[in-house]
Amino acid sequence: MSRKRPPDESDELLARLGSLTAQARERAELQRSRVELALALQRGMLPRDLPVADGFRLAVRYAPACYGLNVGGDWYDAFTLPDGRIGLSIGDVQGHNIEATAFMGQVRVGLRALASVTGEPGDLLARTNDLLLSLGGDLFATCTFMRLDPATGLLESARAGHVPCVWATADGKSGIAEDEGGPPLGVAAGVTYPVTRYRLTKGGVFVLLTDGVVEGPSMSVDEGLDQVVRLAGIAAVAGLEAGSLASAVIKGAERVGHEDDAAVLVVGHDGLLGHDGLLTGPPRIQP
């Protein structure tokens, strides 16, 4: 009568390693599928085309985070309002997962839908905030919304807990927009969002961005904003196209050492028409 030989320890070890390898492969495949789904959601929710207006140029650049599941909720948008003016928005949703991406879609669609009722930036953010609170949920979003009048160059801006914009004029002046702002969207009910008015003059630029562009482990937000101010100032003086400035800003985001999305939206007044009518200081209009 034969006896079964006890399994060799090396065979047992190889079997365990094979099982662990298979499990790791399954987890990696699941993670990859989730990242691909989040990226597809992002691409589907961001606008394919930007509005066109005589004398003005819009440009966007977007770099989604692809570290593990850190794919989330940064967005940009630009669309024509019912009165012919242009709405510009940029924002960042708390979190970096599929839920954040879906919430980003809710915010962006909500802004667009409510903009058909009111294009006034402060009122629009307040209504969007109330809408998000009525939907429930634990996420919130920071956002800047601007309304551009191509006929006059007037920019009206309201900010909900978001990083400030950067401006530059063709005569060499540049800086960080000084608007008061309010809390993020989806945090508290009954809040108001002050509106600040600027004049975008010929050759000038405004740069809207998310914190992934200017803040990370290797750079503070103040250092990051100063970097964008320098780039915008150089671009305005040199008469660079909006797309070239947007590319330079998103390239500079590599220095912050972040694992976050990064979005840039540049609006520029076409300097080819001449550099007359420039402001002598920050392009802010007192209410």
Chain segment 60-105, per-residue pLDDT in tens = 998 876 555 555 678 899 999 999 999 999 999 877 667 777 788 8
Q: Please give the pLDDT value at position 44.
A: 53
**277 has a pLDDT exceeding 50:** no
Mean predicted lDDT score pLDDT of the chain? 82
Separation between Cα atoms, residue 55 and residue 36, nearest integer Å: 38
Strand partners, 174: 168
At 30 the pLDDT is: 55
pLDDT band at 270 (very low <50, low <70, confident <90, very high): confident
Instruction: Name residue 161's beta-bridge partners.
Output: 143
Per-residue pLDDT at 279 exceeds 50: no
Cα dihedral across residues 230, 233, 239, 244: positive or negative? positive
Per mean pLDDT, which range of 74-88, 233-247, 269-283 is the poorest? 269-283
Q: How much is the pLDDT for 49?
A: 84
Round to whole Å and give the CA distance between 123 and 120. Answer: 6
> Which strands sit side by side in the sheet containing 284-285, from one edge to the other?
75-80, 86-93, 141-149, 154-160, 196-199, 284-285
Mean pLDDT, range 109-126, rounded to an integer: 94
Q: What angle do CA 262, 49, 64 make, to 5 degrees?
A: 20
What letter represents residue 126's amino acid? A
What pLDDT, on a 0 to 100 scale, did the predictor assign at position 46? 66
Average the pLDDT over 173-198 and give the result.
Answer: 94
What residues have CB less than 8 Å from 15, skipping those under 6 apart?
A: none
Given a cut of 60, whether residue 284 has pLDDT beyond it is: no
In angstroms, the CA 246 to CA 92 distance is 18
Q: Which of 261, 257, 163 is nearest to 217 (CA)?
A: 257
The residues, ordered by sequence, that sit 6+ positions from 252 with a Cβ below 8 Å of its Cβ are: 213, 227, 228, 231
In whole angstroms, give the CA distance from residue 271 to residue 201: 9
Cβ–Cβ < 8 Å for 39, 104: no
pLDDT band at residue 13 under the 50/70/90 scheme: low
Task: Check whether 175 has a pLDDT greater than 80.
Answer: yes
**Chain segment 19-56, per-residue pLDDT in tens:** 666 666 666 555 555 555 555 555 555 677 889 899 99
Could you tell me the maximum CA-CA distance found in the chain, to the nearest angstrom?
105
Q: Is the confidence at residue 6, as pLDDT, over 70?
A: no
CB 141 within 8 A of CB 104: yes
Query: Residue 250: is its pLDDT beyond 90?
Result: yes
